[in-house]
């Protein structure tokens, strides 16, 4: 029942944000093909010949299965975007299942191309997002937070840093709808301290106003992506 409720809320909401970020389609569908070896690159994915499209191109199975949260973050994101479901190409939507172990965290991150709407199916989550830099330099970025329970919905505006933290003693599950076929993810800590090649230490020392040893320590950590 809870799973059905979650999907109902998610699908109803996706219908209202489907064209919020990606361009509108110019035909009924444009099923993506594997273009990794293509000589021409496009903004999105190359279309499959419509005469070769089958029902499987619009189908994905497996979101009923919990993700493996046995990692340092205690969370796992299972995305369903155009890379997993080629029929999403040009449709401007995608979704994800997020599993959280007790005290598991989906760490601060952004989706550069999508607004996200989250519905909790099980557990208790502490969620929030931070606004962009205010025009007045004397003001600070604002943090908006909320505790979410089963059936609760929260929206994270496009491009803003946000997070979800399981504050309960049991596993938690949430589903997210995103207003892009390929929303992208930038995990803040990973990008800043785990890039390849690494960001120059002097840049990070100046930016964070900390000792070199702190930067050395942070860059030496193993920064993982959970999606």
When computed from its CA atoms, the radius of gyration of the chain, rounded to whole angstroms, is 19
Three-state DSSP class for residue 178: strand
Q: How far apart are CA 169 and CA 115, in angstroms?
A: 29
Three-state DSSP class for residue 176: strand
Q: What share of the chain is helix, strand, coil (3-state, %, to 5)?
A: 20, 25, 55
Q: Give the domain ranges of the chain.
A: 19-184, 186-226
The CATH fold assigned to 19-184 is: Jelly Rolls (2.60.120)
pTM equals: 0.86
How many other CB atoms sit within 10 Å of the CB of residue 61? 7
pLDDT: is 25 or 68 the higher one? 68
Question: What digits encode the pLDDT tens for the residues 67-98?
Answer: 999 999 999 999 999 999 999 999 999 999 99
pLDDT of 15 higher than 80: no
Compute the residue count for the chain.
Answer: 227
Question: What digits encode the pLDDT tens for the residues 134-181?
Answer: 999 999 999 999 999 999 999 999 999 999 999 999 999 999 999 999
Three-state DSSP class for residue 209: coil
Q: Point out the annotated binding site.
A: 106, 109, 111, 116, 162
Q: How far apart are CA 116 and CA 21, in angstroms?
A: 11
pLDDT of 16 higher than 60: no
Q: Point out the annotated binding site for Mn(2+).
A: 109, 111, 116, 162
Q: Point out the annotated binding site for oxalate.
A: 106, 111, 116
Q: Which residues face 172 on adjacent strands?
A: 100
User: Beta 125-130 vs 186-187: how paired, if at all?
Assistant: unpaired
Report DSSP state, residue 74: -
């Amino acid at each position: 029942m809870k799973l059905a409720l979650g999907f109902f809320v998610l699908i109803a909401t996706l219908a209202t944000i489907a064209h919020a970020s990606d361009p509108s389609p110019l035909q009924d569908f444009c099923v993506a093909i594997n273009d990794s070896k293509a000589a021409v690159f496009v903004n999105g994915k190359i279309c499959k010949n419509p005469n070769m499209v089958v029902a499987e191109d619009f189908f994905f199975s497996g979101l009923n299965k919990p993700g493996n949260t046995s990692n340092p973050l205690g969370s796992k994101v299972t995305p369903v975007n155009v890379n997993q479901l080629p029929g999403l190409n040009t449709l401007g939507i995608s979704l994800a299942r997020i599993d959280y172990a007790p005290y598991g965290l989906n760490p601060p991150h952004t989706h550069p191309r999508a607004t996200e709407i989250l519905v909790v199916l099980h557990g208790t989550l502490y969620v929030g997002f931070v606004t962009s830099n205010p025009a007045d330099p004397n003001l600070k970025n604002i943090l908006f937070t909320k505790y979410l329970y089963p059936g609760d919905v929260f929206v994270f505006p496009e491009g803003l840093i946000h997070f979800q933290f399981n504050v309960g003693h049991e596993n938690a599950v949430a589903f997210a709808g995103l207003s892009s076929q390929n929303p992208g993810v930038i995990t803040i800590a990973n990008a800043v301290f785990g890039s390849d090649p690494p960001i120059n230490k002097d840049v990070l020392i100046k930016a964070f106003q900390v000792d070199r040893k702190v930067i050395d320590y942070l860059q030496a950590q193993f920064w993982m992506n959970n999606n």
